[in-house]
């Protein structure tokens, strides 16, 4: 696995690449690379840095509950200090784009057409509200991450309810982003998901992840999907991530 990841990232030889490791450093010219195996924020060479759309900002499809929770956490991203300008608060919003890097080493199987058209799975439908509407906030001091997730009508599994694979996808997204903020570049080694109750389409849920422990290269995260007031448990999961060094990612 290590070798295959090394090969995968051999193409990222831009001097800009290692500079912006860590979600907190991401400017508009970065692309969030969300992966099951490697998550990090990569600065792109200028040729690839056309301004991408940040999909984790409010749009017309967001319902009142989604907006209320967004404003709740957003208001804690900056705090007023008497007599001073606003300062960073305990929470921080993570941006989210629909493009990954376009210049990966492909091999024979990966045509140029596929590379240029590739889109992040969770952002592959751009119609607002149709699929995954979500925004992530992280609190580094409390070592917590929260995802606010509004479920679109194209995520159906049971009639009127969200597919288990879509729930797994959002759990992977929240816990993986959390692990990246805590440990830098990581890869997912395991997801263990217990489904307790179905989630309705058109509903808003909270996905809260917390750090269980860190041991050597391993980051253990647990996660709960609940109603927005926390009273109803829909799904719970544990996730294990393995840290990858930058030199390793670069094939060193």
Residues with a known catalytic role: 172
Q: Find the shortest distance in angstroms from Cβ 141 to its own copies.
A: 28
Rounded to whole angstroms, the Cα distance separating 78 from 146 reads: 17
- What the block records as the tokens of 89 is 């608060």
Rounded to whole angstroms, the Cα distance separating 108 from 10 reads: 16
Binding mask 141-180 for its own copies (x = CB under 8 A): ------------xxxxxxxxxxxxxxxxxx-xx--x----
Binding mask 198-217 for its own copies (x = CB under 8 A): x-xxxx--------------
Q: Which is nearer to its own copies, 62 or 91 (CB)?
A: 62
- What the block records as the tokens of 5 is 């990841």
Find, among 202, 199, 182, the residue nearest to 142 by Cα. 182
- Residue 204's H or E segment, with its range, is strand 204-215
Rounded to whole angstroms, the Cα distance separating 160 from 201 reads: 6
Candidates 30, 94, 120, 207; binder of its own copies (CB under 8 A) is 120
Instruction: Decide: is 122 part of the binding site for its own copies (CB under 8 A).
Output: yes
Candidates 16, 67, 118, 214; binder of its own copies (CB under 8 A) is 118
Q: Which is nearer to its own copies, 139 or 178 (CB)?
A: 178
Instruction: Decide: is 67 part of the binding site for its own copies (CB under 8 A).
Output: no
3-state secondary structure of 65: helix
How many amino acids of this chain bind its own copies (CB under 8 A)? 70
Q: Find the shortest distance in angstroms from Cβ 77 to its own copies.
A: 26
- Contact partners, residue 184, CB within 8 Å, separation at least 6: 21, 22, 40, 243, 246
Between the alpha carbon of residue 115 and those of residues 9, 18, 118, 169, 249, the distances in Å are 15, 22, 5, 22, 20
Binding segment for its own copies (CB under 8 A), chosen from 43-51, 67-75, 84-92, 186-194, is 186-194
**Please, are residues 62 and 133 in contact by the beta-carbon 8 Å criterion?**
yes
Binding segment for its own copies (CB under 8 A), chosen from 18-26, 72-80, 87-95, 101-109, is 101-109
3-state secondary structure of 125: coil
Instruction: Decide: is 181 part of the binding site for its own copies (CB under 8 A).
Output: no
Instruction: Decide: is 30 part of the binding site for its own copies (CB under 8 A).
Output: no
Exposed e or buried b for every residue in 230-250, given b needs 16+ CB within 10 A?
eeeebbbbbbbbbbbeeeebe
Instruction: Decide: is 117 part of the binding site for its own copies (CB under 8 A).
Output: yes
Q: Which is nearer to its own copies, 90 or 220 (CB)?
A: 220
**Please, are residues 146 and 73 in contact by the beta-carbon 8 Å criterion?**
yes
Instruction: Decide: is 94 part of the binding site for its own copies (CB under 8 A).
Output: no
| Residues at the contact surface with its own copies, assessed by CB under 8 A | 1, 4-5, 8, 33-38, 100-102, 104-107, 109-111, 113-115, 117-122, 124-125, 130-131, 153-170, 172-173, 176, 187-198, 200-203
């Amino acid at each position: 696995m290590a070798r295959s990841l090394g090969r995968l990232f051999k193409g990222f030889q831009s001097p800009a690449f290692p500079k912006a490791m860590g979600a907190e450093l991401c400017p508009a010219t970065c692309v969030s690379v969300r992966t099951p195996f490697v998550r990090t924020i990569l600065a792109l060479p200028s040729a690839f840095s056309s301004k991408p759309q940040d999909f984790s900002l409010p749009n017309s499809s967001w319902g009142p509950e989604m907006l209320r929770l967004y404003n709740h956490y957003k208001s804690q991203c900056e705090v007023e200090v008497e007599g001073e300008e606003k300062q960073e608060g305990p929470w921080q919003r993570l941006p989210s784009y629909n493009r990954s890097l376009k210049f990966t080493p492909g091999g024979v199987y990966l045509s140029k057409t596929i590379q240029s058209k590739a889109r992040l799975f969770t952002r592959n439908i751009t119609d607002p509200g149709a699929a995954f509407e979500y925004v992530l906030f992280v609190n580094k001091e409390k070592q917590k991450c929260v995802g606010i997730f509004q479920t679109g009508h194209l995520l159906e599994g049971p009639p009127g309810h969200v597919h288990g694979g879509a729930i797994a996808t959002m759990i992977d997204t929240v816990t993986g982003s959390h692990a990246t903020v805590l440990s830098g570049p990581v890869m997912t080694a395991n997801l263990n998901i217990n489904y307790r109750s179905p989630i309705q389409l058109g509903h808003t849920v909270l996905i809260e992840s917390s750090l269980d422990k860190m041991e050597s290269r391993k980051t253990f995260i647990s996660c709960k999907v609940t109603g927005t007031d926390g009273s109803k448990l829909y799904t719970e999961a544990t996730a294990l991530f393995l840290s990858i060094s930058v030199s390793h990612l670069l094939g060193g």
